[in-house]
Structure 1
Amino acid sequence: MLWLKALHLIFMVTWFAGLFYLPRLYVYHAMSDDEISNERFKVMERKLFYGIMTPGMIITFIFGIWMLVDYAWGIYSSMGWLHAKLAVLALAVVYHYYCYRYLLDFKFDRNQRSHVFYRWFNEVPVLFLVIIIILAVVKPF
């Protein structure tokens, strides 16, 4: 059980590192105005999304579901904190999807958003992380 939890946390950190960094790349990409920088950002964004973020998310969910099935669901299924955590995780997946949509906008040179938008967009996963950690550790309800 502890190995599952450790692996779940390791890949959650990997996923959230990508959720923090990819929108920051979007900030810089939206501010760039030369072709060399644009192409460099496209490569960095693609590698981060497909090579780190998405595998991190998938493996996080594999170990999380494994823990729920093997251990936690019978104990915690009636507790509100778990349902709240799963709801916030669903929002994180929606955020991940929007990261993908913006990745495609940059890839095909159709980004219409400013660096200021991406600066605000970059703050959203911080809220998700804080809420998820508090729910999982404190179990307030």
Structure 2
Amino acid sequence: MYYYIKALHIIFIVTWFAGLFYFPRLLIYNAEIQTEPDANIKSAMTRQYLLMMKRLWYGITVPSAIMTLILGSLTLHFGHWAPHLFDGTGTWLLIKLGFVILLYIYFFSLGKIFKQQSKGIFKYSGNQLRFYNEVATVFLFAIVFLATVKSAGSLLYGLGGLILLILILVTAIKIYKKVREKKSGKQP
């Protein structure tokens, strides 16, 4: 039974992350279309993006987040991991759960931005949302490495790797922005 629950947990993690990776892209596109000078195009595209976001959020992302939480809790219980959280063998799991909590906070913040955009409130530019889009990638790396390596002793290497990943992502976003500006003829 444990392995079936664990397999389902992993499947729902994958579908949740699919939503966490694509949903912010829709937020970006919706924010960027707001600068469209043609009111008809802007209105049509905004409606389309909001429809796509609503279907992705409520059809895949939210249900997957709920199932991930339920199945993860069952995996923790049936895998008899809970007693080891605070002894030396479960430190990696405790750290992983900390990242999972932060991931859920990120998830709820995406929902908040979605509700704001649904009301026509655009607090973040496309470029700001591009940086925010990469947060899920950082969490994915941290959680998968902790779950696979199962060692808090490698924490220093892991943190160094996460910092390097963040630097690479930030650099890539900045390069992408410059390439886009160059193609559109805008100066930074």
TM class, shorter-chain normalised? over 0.9
TM-score by length of 1: 0.95
In the TM superposition, residue 112 of structure 1 has moved relative to its aligned partner by 2.2
Deviation at 1:76, TM superposition (A): 3.6
Gaps of 5+ in 2: 37-41, 153-188
More contact order relative to length (CA 8 Å, sep ≥ 6): 1
Matched, 1:63 2:64: no
Is 1:53 the counterpart of 2:61? The answer is: yes
Map of 1:84 onto structure 2 = 95
**Partner residue of 1:102?**
113
What TM-score do the two structures reach when normalised by structure 2? 0.72
Residues 89-135 of structure 1 show CA distances to partners (whole Å, capped at 9, x for unaligned) of: 00011001110011011100011211001100000000000000000
Which stretch shows the higher mean deviation, 88-97 or 24-33? 24-33
Structure-1 separation of matches of 2:16 and 2:84: 24
Could you list the structure 1 runs, at least 4 aligned residues long, displaced by more than 2 angstroms after superposition.
74-78
Residue 28 of structure 1 aligns with which residue?
A: 29
Q: What is the aligned-residue identity percentage?
A: 35
Partner residue of 1:38?
Answer: 46
TM-aligned CA deviation for residue 75 of structure 1: 6.2
CA distance in 2 between counterparts of 1:61 and 1:9 reads: 11
Number of equivalences: 141
Rounded to whole Å, the distance in 2 between the matches of 1:50 and 1:94 is 17
Distance apart, 1:72 and its partner CA: 3.1
Structure 2 residue 3 is the aligned partner of structure 1 residue 2 = yes
